[in-house]
A and B are shown apart, each in its own frame.
Chain A
């Protein structure tokens, strides 16, 4: 056992966490090494000062009950961050198709109103509605899941999902 091995053991030695064999090896080294004895003295001293001056962290009575109650009142959210796959399948596709259908209808309706750029107006809208608009989809999803949750009750909803 040398000073380098001892350095990481001194703290555990001071806290009496070493097994008998290791403790004896550390003892043997400490007997002949002033530097390591000073190191140990420092660890012990700082520990004693801190324990005397700082109160141990003890949670106040009722904290657990309060916390659990607050959690139940706040309730559950469907999913904090749905994965890409969740967003695209299976609920999103019907939404995208519906948006595309709406866009197609618009596309037929628009040329009559604006003769200037009839081709792109509707298509771009379809793209933004159907594929890019994850915000809209998420909102729809949230509404849907909240409705489900409201209808089924919190626990059943977990099972269904």
Chain B
């Protein structure tokens, strides 16, 4: 976790805006983790995420002096990161990890059963790489804004406020996106579970 609170970055941003390279370097060190998290969840591919992060800092150094409120530097950096990421995704449609129908039923079944189950499910550790693959495919099928909010929350363990800042929306919007994301994911899993059942019945 980044121990630094976003508002505390103000003085550093001010010095960087005046052209102090050391201050900018420190600002990069203190913000890169959050920026990388956001960007990776947006573009999904690690090498792309690294490029986007780098470009984000190149652009921010170029225009830091136009930053009106240095204490809001984190939100400002995130906005640049989102723009760069969107440019990147427009250039080449997000490289999909693998589309759902390319993942076979054998890979999908355990995941789908777990997600579609009605009752409570004790936390089970899934280490199977295939299962991870199937989850990634299922997640990749979610609309961007839902996928980003859900992974930042569940995998990167950001708070609502942190997600609101990096994504650039209200806390209430984060709440509703998370709710929606889980609904869609569960519905998808349940539909897949039914399809798998049907396929099994036919095969039997």
Contact = CB atoms under 8 A, between A and B. Distances in A.
Nearest to B29: A64
B132 interface: yes
A114 interface: no
B185 interface: yes
Contact of B65 (A45, A55, A70, A158): A158
Interface in A41-96: 41-60, 63-68, 70-72, 74-77, 79-81
Contacts of B33: 58-59
A140 interface: no
A64 B125 contact: no
Nearest to A10: B179
Given A8-B175, A63-B54, A80-B63, A50 B117 contact: no
A33 interface: no
A48 B123 contact: yes
Contacts of A63: 32, 36, 50, 53-54
A57 B155 contact: yes
B136 A47 contact: no
A56 B156 contact: yes
Nearest to B62: A77
A68 B57 contact: yes
Contacts of B118: 38
A68 B24 contact: yes
Given A74-B62, A75-B62, A49 B175 contact: no
A155 B19 contact: yes
Contact of A44 (B65, B121, B136, B150): B121
For B115, B154, B160, the residue with the greatest tally of chain A CB atoms inside 10 Å of its CB is B154
Interface string B114-151: 11011111011111000110111001000000000011
Contacts of B157: 15, 56
A71 B24 contact: yes
B154 A53 contact: no
A125 interface: no
Given A50-B150, A57-B155, A158-B65, A71 B60 contact: yes
B115 A49 contact: yes
Contacts of B61: 71-72, 74, 76
Given A45-B114, A48-B124, A53 B65 contact: no
A11 B178 contact: yes
27 contacts: A8-B175, A11-B175, A40-B120, A42-B182, A42-B186, A45-B114, A45-B121, A47-B154, A50-B135, A50-B154, A52-B126, A52-B127, A54-B132, A57-B156, A58-B36, A59-B32, A59-B53, A67-B32, A67-B56, A68-B28, A71-B24, A76-B61, A76-B65, A77-B63, A79-B65, A154-B19, A155-B19
Nearest first, the 5 A-B pairs at minimum CB distance are A53-B135, A71-B61, A41-B120, A59-B36, A158-B19
Interface of B: 18-21, 24-25, 28-29, 32-33, 36-37, 40-41, 46, 49-50, 53-54, 56-58, 60-63, 65-66, 111, 114-115, 117-121, 123-127, 131-132, 134-136, 139, 150-151, 153-157, 159-160, 175, 178-179, 182, 185-186
Given A50-B139, A54-B135, 9 more contacts: A15-B153, A48-B124, A53-B136, A54-B155, A63-B53, A71-B24, A71-B57, A80-B63, A80-B66
